[in-house]
């Protein structure tokens, strides 16, 4: 009986993993930071002459987008600054890892923007938690639209950094949007590949079953019925501890415990799978002719996605694959020594190519 219960729990965990990527956040968290930031050493106030954060809103295809713009110390809108767009992980929000890297980039002299994806976080859009690749790619272009019009930004010096799922969408955005002069990813996650095949191909046998489920969900929506959601199951610490992959186990603790934010949730509309499962971040990589930096932890179980995309990027000779020694996927989000190594490489990369 004990073994049967354990087997059922493991099976449930595997099914949850088939519909999740980098985020496993289902709980609520009281955020004390006045800007809602949950990462270490986050800004708590704007002081004249120092690095500042500016909450902004703008429209993208009729949807209100909530974003944070970080400006460097002694920011002068009459001067000219390079800028970086930062795209967040799936299920994440601008107050987590995207905000951390945006703040660190501003410390290095860049104007940086991190925004919540449309239909997610504090941004508008109905139904909530719609998660279609076309939207996420357009969100990145929308950040570029906004920040290139921001006072002091040199629109000829625009870079982009995508983290986790945002990394995969960054690759797609940069393939055709040549405003991005330098393209960087950290712990890139190919959302479509994993939604379709499961992490490390663990869901190949259930592809057609999941497509049927997504099709039925869309049909229900079209008829005015309920919105069905995937990844809407609360994960306990016990369940997380039994997960076979670092990504999901550590992701649970990052999103649900140490860096939880009330706007961060990984649930998404089941019908989104129709778009997600036909998507692949690594197709048409030869269209990227800009300088390319792809970073991953040397112990990241997601590294295979970065490796594949990097080797398919045949359109640029200026590319680098940088491994952060000892880091897992989630650890690149917050562990100081790993963040520092990533930032050192980003400063070198953007400084050279922008």
Residue 233: pLDDT band with limits 50, 70, 90: confident
Work out the mean pLDDT of the chain and round it to a whole number: 93
Whole-number Å distance between alpha carbons of 100 and 110? 13
Distance CA 320, CA 186 (A): 12
Q: What domains appear along the chain, each with residue ranges and CATH number?
A: 2-353 (3.40.50.1820)
The torsion angle over the Cα atoms of residues 183, 200, 131 and 171, rounded to 10 degrees, is 10
pTM score above 0.85: yes
- Residue 19 corresponds to which tokens in the numbers above? 């519909």
pLDDT in tens, 259-280: 999 999 989 999 999 999 999 9
Asked if residue 335 has a cis previous peptide bond (ω within 30° of 0), the answer is no
User: CA–CA distance from 269 to each of 120, 189, 227 (Å)?
Assistant: 11, 19, 7
Contact 240/233 with Cβ under 8 angstroms?
no
Asked whether the beta carbons of 176 and 140 are under 8 A apart, the reply is no
Considering Cα of 275, then 277, then 280, then 284, what sign does the dihedral take? negative
pLDDT mean over 41-61: 98
């Amino acid at each position: 009986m004990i073994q049967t219960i354990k087997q059922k729990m493991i099976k449930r965990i595997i099914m949850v993993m088939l519909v999740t990527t980098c985020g496993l956040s289902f709980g609520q968290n009281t955020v004390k930071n006045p800007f809602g930031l949950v990462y270490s050493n986050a800004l708590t106030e704007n002081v004249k002459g120092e690095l500042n954060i500016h909450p902004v809103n703008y429209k993208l295809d009729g949807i209100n987008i909530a974003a944070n713009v970080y400006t460097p110390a002694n920011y002068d809108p009459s001067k000219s600054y390079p800028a970086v767009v930062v795209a967040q992980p799936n299920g994440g929000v601008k107050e987590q890892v995207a905000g951390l890297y945006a703040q660190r980039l501003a410390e290095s002299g860049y104007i940086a923007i991190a925004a919540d994806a449309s239909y997610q976080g504090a941004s508008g859009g109905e139904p909530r938690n719609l998660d279609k690749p076309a939207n996420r790619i357009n969100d990145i272009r929308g950040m570029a639209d906004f920040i290139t019009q921001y006072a002091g930004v040199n629109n000829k010096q625009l870079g982009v950094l995508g983290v986790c799922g945002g990394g995969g969408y960054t690759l797609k955005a940069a393939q055709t949007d040549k405003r991005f002069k330098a393209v960087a990813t950290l712990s890139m996650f190919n959302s479509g590949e994993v939604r379709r095949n499961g992490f490390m191909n663990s869901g190949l046998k259930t592809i057609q079953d999941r497509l049927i489920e997504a099709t039925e969900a869309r049909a229900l929506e079209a008829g005015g019925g309920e919105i069905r959601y995937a990844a809407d199951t609360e994960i306990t610490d016990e369940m997380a501890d039994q997960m076979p992959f670092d990504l999901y186990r550590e992701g649970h603790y990052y999103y649900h415990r140490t860096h939880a934010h009330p706007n961060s949730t990984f649930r998404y509309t089941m019908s989104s799978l129709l778009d997600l499962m036909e998507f692949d971040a690594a197709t048409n990589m030869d269209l990227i002719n800009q300088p390319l930096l792809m970073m991953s932890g040397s112990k990241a179980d997601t590294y295979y996605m970065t490796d594949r995309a990097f080797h398919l990027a045949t359109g640029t000779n200026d590319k680098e694959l940088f491994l952060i020694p000892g880091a897992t996927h989630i650890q690149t989000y917050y562990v100081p020594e790993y963040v520092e190594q990533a930032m050192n490489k980003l400063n070198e990369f953007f400084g050279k190519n922008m």
